[in-house]
A = this chain, B = another copy of it.
């Protein structure tokens, strides 16, 4: 598997140097692997820190900026970052109003952020943690619990919006938790991804088959099926989502590409998702189509629904200015 890299060991470092070179509005500490918005800490503002394994770009570094994250901690590819990174990030963004950690529910991320929260508390930083576990491919409450995937974007954005408005840590945490609890995602792979360290695909997926219920780390899914049309995939996906949580409010919709699926296909898929939602009386309030929470060069797609009341919808619409999500600024 050919890759546009120098050496596998330096992929994350090289990417961070790239971010540093092209985003003057961010402070990128390449050696310590922390991406911080240039004006941090912002006075009287709760600091938002997230992070996780690399390979999901633009998540999380691409979501650092006004109206979203204050800092991101990228780990090695598909490997959660280490506590030192989160502690450093927390110190960089804490204005005295405290820090919220937004953590995707993977054993590694949870454990490392847990340790970081302890260490940060020892340094006198108030830390709250919200865990995202939105993947309905897995039964809730079983084993390691549900994985955190596309819902993370909505948590980071909506918590970021309310933090930007000056809300205290308790309130920011409450919004983040509410969003994290109500988001649902489901993903499908048509072709596996290849990690730089391994140099080849993380699993085999023969021609004519796809994986339903995949994660974002090259894990195989819960079920393998014969190839389906985009309409059939949309039906299976929306069924999985709506059976888990029939939203009685309008939803923000993320139609997300996993990395190698052309935007042309993704927009076609979006039209099928919209149809499938309509047939199940789910009302889309706003829709994003694009590669936001990826899995390197995996071919496939995921859909995330985030129910919103008027307040959350208003927060969604406030200005955001990050490398990957930007409007009103």
Given A3-B190, A18-B270, A299-B297, the answer on whether A54 and B329 have CB atoms closer than 8 Å is no
CA distance A313 to B18 in the complex (A): 22
Q: Which residues from B are CB-within-8-Å of A259? A: 260, 262
CA distance A237 to B2 in the complex (A): 18
Segment with Cβ contacts to B, from A55-63, A123-131, A177-185: A55-63
| A272 part of interface (Cβ distance < 8 Å) | yes
CB–CB A14/B289 < 8 A = no
CB–CB B294/A262 < 8 A = yes
Q: Which residues from B are CB-within-8-Å of A287? A: 21-22
Residue of B nearest to A209 (CB): B2
Q: Which residues from B are CB-within-8-Å of A294? A: 262-263
CA distance A299 to B231 in the complex (A): 26
Q: Which residues from B are CB-within-8-Å of A284? A: 22
Given A327-B329, A328-B329, the answer on whether A271 and B11 have CB atoms closer than 8 Å is no
Residue of B nearest to A270 (CB): B18
Residue of B nearest to A1 (CB): B207
Shortest distance from the beta carbon of A36 to any chain B beta carbon, whole Å: 17
CA distance A326 to B259 in the complex (A): 21
- Which of A2, A4, A207 has the most CB atoms of chain B within a 10 A radius of its CB? A4
Q: Which residues from B are CB-within-8-Å of A327? A: 321, 326, 329
Q: Write out, one digit per residue, whether chain A residues 265-304 have a CB within 8 A of any chain B CB (1) or not (0).
A: 1111111101000000000100111010010110111000
CA distance A317 to B150 in the complex (A): 31
CA distance A321 to B319 in the complex (A): 13
Residue of B nearest to A233 (CB): B4
| A241 part of interface (Cβ distance < 8 Å) | no
CB–CB A14/B272 < 8 A = yes
Q: Write out, one digit per residue, whether chain A residues 234-275 have a CB within 8 A of any chain B CB (1) or not (0).
A: 000000000000000000000100011111111111111010
Residue of B nearest to A227 (CB): B2
| Copies of the chain in the assembly | 2
CB–CB A4/B266 < 8 A = yes
- With beta carbons under 8 angstroms apart, the residue of B20, B21, B57, B300 that contacts A262 is B57
Q: Write out, one digit per residue, whether chain A residues 8-44 have a CB within 8 A of any chain B CB (1) or not (0).
A: 0011101111111110000000000000000000000
| A49 part of interface (Cβ distance < 8 Å) | no
Q: Write out, one digit per residue, whether chain A residues 200-239 have a CB within 8 A of any chain B CB (1) or not (0).
A: 0000000110100000000000000001011101000000
Q: Which residues from B are CB-within-8-Å of A297? A: 260-262, 299
Q: Which residues from B are CB-within-8-Å of A62? A: 263
Shortest distance from the beta carbon of A14 to any chain B beta carbon, whole Å: 3
List 16 extra interface pairs beyond A14-B271, A14-B272, A327-B329, CB under 8 A. Answer: A2-B207, A2-B208, A2-B210, A3-B190, A3-B265, A6-B268, A6-B272, A15-B267, A21-B271, A21-B274, A259-B262, A260-B260, A262-B294, A262-B296, A262-B297, A326-B326
Closest 9 CB pairs of A and B: A14-B268, A18-B267, A18-B271, A57-B263, A260-B260, A18-B270, A17-B271, A15-B267, A22-B287
Some 9 contacts from A to B, beta carbons below 8 A apart, are A2-B208, A4-B233, A6-B268, A12-B264, A17-B271, A18-B271, A57-B263, A259-B260, A326-B326
